[in-house]
Amino acid sequence: MVSIFNLDGMEHHVRTCIPKVELVPAGKPFYCLSSEDLRNTHCCYTDFCNKIDLRVPSGEWTPLLDYWLIVERVYHNRQRLDMEDPSCEMCLSKDKTLQDLVYDLSTSGSGSGLPLFVQRTVARTIVLQEIIGKGRFGEVWRGRWRGGDVAVKIFSSREERSWFREAEIYQTVMLRHENILGFIAADNKDNGTWTQLWLVSDYHEHGSLFDYLNRYTVTIEGMIKLALSAASGLAHLHMEIVGTQGKPGIAHRDLKSKNILVKKNGMCAIADLGLAVRHDAVTDTIDIAPNQRVGTKRYMAPEVLDETINMKHFDSFKCADIYALGLVYWEIARRCNSGGVHEEYQLPYYDLVPSDPSIEEMRKVVCDQKLRPNIPNWWQSYEALRVMGKMMRECWYANGAARLTALRIKKTLSQLSVQEDVKI
């Protein structure tokens, strides 16, 4: 780092090396902030790169800069304390791991996750490690907390509505399930200059199902595990649990292979609930969020593409999810290695629409021409692939009400797993 400023009429030059752990917050370290008129600072990341001359700022050092220097030092010391002892907030006992904490509070309480003050404590003692993904909303980082990995989804401030909605849905009573991404915390970090909106969840090193299928083929057993666990997660999402500690039915509305994560055990966890809607069974109403985002065009059901979906009827949204699940199953089954035969990874409708299709292009293929992804004839030679192909067709009916339910799919795949002697 090299910095130059005026103090008492004299130019002061600073050239130094800063340990990586002190470059906080990640992406915009306080050490690297400049003030056009008062302090000119340049950060670089190669050997001897600070041997440069900077323009001398026109202004004089003022108490304001002293203040910023103090803020910088306090923030640095606080960050060091947090990294050395993440339990410094005192409200979390030192012997608790993140898994212990989430388990205790989600089983003994409402099942909606951690109390807000604990969420904030956890979020503010996470040390970000590396960026693992980017999207329209912002970035996803791998972070560390008490020796364990977590995923941190960082929304840009203009996506506050999406952040709030996703956090709200994840904290629905009784939502926690092994095949739905485990929510840990939500927090907004404001340093006076900009705001970061964090959503902290379980970390899964395989990444999304899309990434996984691009990298690997799967066995018949692996295919059944992926398909059954995805159906189990969706069935739990769709299910309404009646009672004082009940759960509303939830429809995902943006189900696709990029929004499903693959766990270490080869099971799926459904993620990205920012577009989800909840059904209030008592009033028979749907809490459609005021969100400008729409689902992914390639995975939109026919009734969504041609705008005939009944937005007041909750089952309509569940049926649209099932259509998308059928497309995800097609992606999985293509990568199944049966008898040494498998196909390369492709997105649904890869041969019928461009890489970023418009709604009109999708509507023409799906609604007007009534085309669906091709199911190869050779799948008939393998019972598991035959069953998968039959289920896909029953997920893709133009009439949403004729499609299978998530629970029916789960039962069919459970029976198939017994037939194929799959250890779940």
CATH, residue 217 = 1.10.510.10
Q: Are residues 70 and 102 in the same domain?
A: no
Most confident of 34-43, 93-102, 254-263: 254-263
Q: Are residues 193 and 76 in the same domain?
A: no
List the structure tokens of 249: 């039915």
- Output the pLDDT for position 349: 99
Most confident of 91-105, 232-246, 289-303: 232-246
Last residue of a domain, one of 149, 170, 202: 202
Would 89 be classed as within a structural domain? no
> How many separate domains does the chain show?
3
Q: Are residues 349 and 370 in the same domain?
A: yes
Q: How confident is the model at residue 216 (pLDDT cuts 50, 70, 90)?
A: very high
- The owner of tokens 């304001």 is 64
Would 238 be classed as within a structural domain? yes
* DSSP bridge pairs for 237: none
- Output the pLDDT for position 35: 52
Cα distance between residue 301 and residue 309, in whole Å:
9
Q: Are residues 410 and 281 in the same domain?
A: yes
Q: Are residues 122 and 103 in the same domain?
A: yes
- Output the pLDDT for position 193: 74
Query: 141 is in which domain, residue-wise?
Result: 98-202
Would 91 be classed as within a structural domain? no
Structure confidence by residue, pLDDT tens digits, 401-415: 999 999 999 999 999
- Name the more confident of 388 and 48: 388
Q: Are residues 400 and 252 in the same domain?
A: yes
Most confident of 120-124, 175-179, 404-408, 420-424: 404-408
CATH, residue 13 = 2.10.60
**Is residue 232 pLDDT above 90, yes or no?**
yes
The verdict on whether residue 153 carries a ligand-binding annotation is yes
Cα distance between residue 90 and residue 75, in whole Å:
19
Would 35 be classed as within a structural domain? yes
What share of the chain has pLDDT > 90, as a percent? 55
- Output the pLDDT for position 94: 65
Last residue of a domain, one of 61, 84, 107: 84
Query: Which is the catalytic residue, given 8, 66, 149, 254?
Result: 254
- Output the pLDDT for position 89: 44
Q: Are residues 45 and 115 in the same domain?
A: no
Q: Are residues 262 and 277 in the same domain?
A: yes
* Cβ proximity of 59 and 38 under 8 Å: yes
Residues 298-310: what's their mean pLDDT?
95
- Name the more confident of 224 and 196: 224
Structure confidence by residue, pLDDT tens digits, 132-178: 998 878 899 999 988 889 999 999 888 888 899 999 999 888 898 99
Would 90 be classed as within a structural domain? no
Would 261 be classed as within a structural domain? yes
Q: Are residues 46 and 119 in the same domain?
A: no
- Output the pLDDT for position 410: 98
* DSSP bridge pairs for 133: 140
Would 92 be classed as within a structural domain? no
Cα distance between residue 229 and residue 31, in whole Å:
47
Geometric angle at alpha carbon 262, from 258 and 265, rounded to 5°: 175
Last residue of a domain, one of 84, 108, 126: 84
Would 215 be classed as within a structural domain? yes
**Is residue 82 pLDDT above 50, yes or no?**
no
Q: Are residues 116 and 220 in the same domain?
A: no
Cα distance between residue 356 and residue 349, in whole Å:
11
- Provide the 3-class DSSP secondary structure of residue 118: helix
Q: Are residues 219 and 183 in the same domain?
A: no
pLDDT, the chain, mean = 84
Q: Are residues 72 and 105 in the same domain?
A: no
Most confident of 43-47, 232-236, 273-277: 232-236
H or E element that contains 183:
strand 183-190
Cα distance between residue 92 and residue 89, in whole Å:
7
CATH, residue 182 = 3.30.200.20
254 is catalytic: yes
pTM here is: 0.77
